[in-house]
A and B are shown apart, each in its own frame.
Chain A
Amino acid sequence: MSHDIAVEARDARKVYGQGIGAVTALGGVSLQIRKGEFFTLLGPSGCGKTTLLKLIAGFESPTTGHILLDGSDITFDPPNERPVNTVFQSYALFPHLSVADNIGFGLKMQGRPKAEVAATVTRMLALVRLDKMADRKPGQLSGGQQQRVALARALAPSPKVLLLDEPLSALDLQLRKEMQIELKRLQVETGITFIFVTHDQEEALTMSDRIGVMQSGHLLQVGDPRTIYTRPANRFVASFIGESNFLTGTLDGTALTLDAGPRMSVEAGQGAPTQGRVTAAIRPEQIRITSATLGDGIPAKVTQTVYFGTDTHCRVVLKDGTEITVRLQSPASGDVGLHPGSEVTLKFEPGALIVLPEAA
């Protein structure tokens, strides 16, 4: 077993209830998270990401399978015996304790000497920039400050792994952006392994070293943000992370004949079929539009343009009826010069079209 794995899930399954009413929250997930990594579990609500987090924290036990921390099996250890701390979605700050006592709680429960607790609390307060708030009660703090107390409280006992359960979802947009940067800074400064749960794909892309995309209790793809975005493993990943257009066609080696007309060469995707009916994905920003109906490319007709400021989204329809969204950078004049009914040609780099490793 490699020494740089912090947390490992081995075929972890979690089923709630029994018999007919049983619900499978997690359907056999295997995953390795590296030491010092900022790992994000990304998926829609109900995909099992929070369940997996609870298995790692010890709030739940898997129905079958194992959880390993630093190579040792902790599947049935109670939460208070795991060197793992959690930042809760609701923060769960103790309302009757001061900010300092909240932050020092974990160390106090571990029976550390008072002087050490006090020193660590001071250091943590500085780390999250709340030096002046030590004696306040959580109820007297703003949402962003409570968030930072929750972070400091979970980091104070220097856990091997920090679990974050959608900690930014209660904050407004501006504060969320600040906290994203703050979280990343804390992770780099402390070097602690962060496992971050979110349904926000942008949050996942900007903060993570690696992302695990989940759906319906299964892990669909694990990879760094660029790989996840540019080489999605299936249709769900392609549409959940960023936007994607889907084209169907018939593949023969590297030659793809689209249902909408032209024949083009594509790169063979990893694990993708090389023959037969396939689905290919392309990102809206990878497509260019030329007004002429000349040369290579896919002929299309504009149905709608929507102005978004920096971008203009242009909806076009292909010959076979497939609807495609194209994201164009708005020109200085603000007018892309396309109107419903315009005959256009869609162009893109050969590598932009990704054949998905699943049947059409």
Chain B
Amino acid sequence: MVDRTFAIARLPGFATIAVTVFVLLYLPIAMLVVFSFNAGDSVAIWEGFSFRWYPEAWSNEAVKAATWRSLQIATAASIIATTVATMAALGTTRRRQTKGQSFVYLMINQPLMVPEIVTAVALLIFFSTIKVATGYQGLGYLIIAHAAFCTPFAYLPIRARLESMDLSLETASADLYASRWQTFRYITLPLVMPGAIAGLMLAFVTSLDDVVITLFVKSAGQDTLPTYMLAQIRRSVSAEVNAISTLLLLLTVVLLTAFFLLTRKRT
């Protein structure tokens, strides 16, 4: 009997295309990792295995400062983004559905859709007015900017979690004498926590990796790790950058694995 069901995996060339795509996606990254262990100065000619770039990068004061700044910004921004996203998710899932609901979703997710360069220019102009008016030059601008574009990344897993939650649990809590705040504190919050942690990690990774908005918003001497690396590469391509990239990659893989484990359906 002929099987008439359509399966894309049976089309001719499927395996070839799939393998090609994965190679193109991951080969450059694999090369970056390999060359971070290069003994020589070149990023293109292999001269033997060595760990030298890792301690070299770590002994560089500029790298340390940029790393510390990146972590500070990512931590603060992801906490703010997760808090805002949790409130937004509660607002969009725990109220009666209104006509403007899809407009609200659009507004919350707009940083995903508006070209990043537009947000960057807008923030540059907006913040420079404030800088002139207040004289404040600190990291606050970067934190606020990062929190803004990280919010939709935190929002999506939290909303998914809240939507899959049985509403009768909150009804039952109210029935058992819990005030609205107690219901949130003892029922909703603990149950939404895996989603919130997943959102926090996504926001953290997104912030850590940002270049465009950071370049526009940062003041002099406020390089984050990605903008520092960009500046380094402009001058001369150093294998030090490979080592830093590899470490960033490792951090991202760890966080995303944790994200995957947290959002996976528990059976």
Chain A residues with CB under 8 Å of chain B are 57-59, 78-81, 84-86, 88, 90, 92-96, 105-106, 109-110, 153-154, 157
CB distance from B149 to the nearest CB of A (A): 32
Residues of A within 8 A of B171 (CB): 59, 79, 88, 92
Can you spell out 13 A-B residue pairs with CB atoms less than 8 angstroms apart? A59-B171, A79-B175, A85-B176, A86-B172, A88-B171, A90-B168, A92-B172, A93-B172, A105-B173, A105-B178, A106-B176, A109-B176, A153-B176
A80 with B179, Cβ < 8 A, contacts A95-B191, A96-B190, A96-B191 known:
yes
Which residue on B lies nearest to A79, using beta carbons? B174
Q: What are the interface flags for B52-71 relative to A under an 8 Å C-beta threshold, 1 for contact and 0 otherwise?
A: 00000000000000000000
Which residue on B lies nearest to A156, using beta carbons? B176
CB distance from B141 to the nearest CB of A (A): 39
A91 to B166, CA, bound (A): 11
Task: Pick the residue among A80, A90, A154 that contacts B166 (CB under 8 A).
Answer: A90
Which residue on B lies nearest to A112, using beta carbons? B177
A109 with B177, Cβ < 8 A, contacts A94-B187, A96-B190, A96-B191 known:
yes
A80 with B169, Cβ < 8 A, contacts A94-B187, A96-B190 known:
no
Residues of A within 8 A of B175 (CB): 57-59, 79-80, 84-86, 154
How many Cβ-Cβ contacts under 8 Å join chain A to chain B? 60
Tell me, yes or no, whether B232 is within 8 Å of chain A by CB.
Answer: no
Residues of A within 8 A of B178 (CB): 80, 105, 109
Tell me, yes or no, whether B129 is within 8 Å of chain A by CB.
Answer: no
A106 with B166, Cβ < 8 A, contacts A59-B171, A95-B191 known:
no
Interface centre among A85, A105, A110 (most CB of B within 10 A): A105
Top 3 closest pairs, chain A to chain B, by CB: A106-B176, A92-B172, A92-B168
Interface centre among B169, B172, B186 (most CB of A within 10 A): B172
Task: Check A110 against B177 for contact (C-beta < 8 Å).
Answer: yes
Which residue on B lies nearest to A139, using beta carbons? B266
Chain B residues with CB under 8 Å of chain A are 166, 168-169, 171-179, 182, 186-187, 190-191
A153 to B175, CA, bound (A): 11
A90 to B172, CA, bound (A): 10
Residues of A within 8 A of B166 (CB): 90, 92
Residues of A within 8 A of B172 (CB): 86, 88, 92-94
A78 to B182, CA, bound (A): 14
A81 to B174, CA, bound (A): 9
Residues of B within 8 A of A58 (CB): 174-175
A93 to B182, CA, bound (A): 16
Task: Check A157 against B168 for contact (C-beta < 8 Å).
Answer: no
A334 to B169, CA, bound (A): 52
Residues of B within 8 A of A110 (CB): 177
A157 with B190, Cβ < 8 A, contacts A88-B172, A90-B168 known:
no
A58 to B174, CA, bound (A): 9
A90 to B171, CA, bound (A): 12
CB distance from A327 to the nearest CB of B (A): 41
Residues of B within 8 A of A154 (CB): 175-176
Residues of B within 8 A of A59 (CB): 171, 174-175
A59 to B168, CA, bound (A): 11
A88 to B190, CA, bound (A): 21
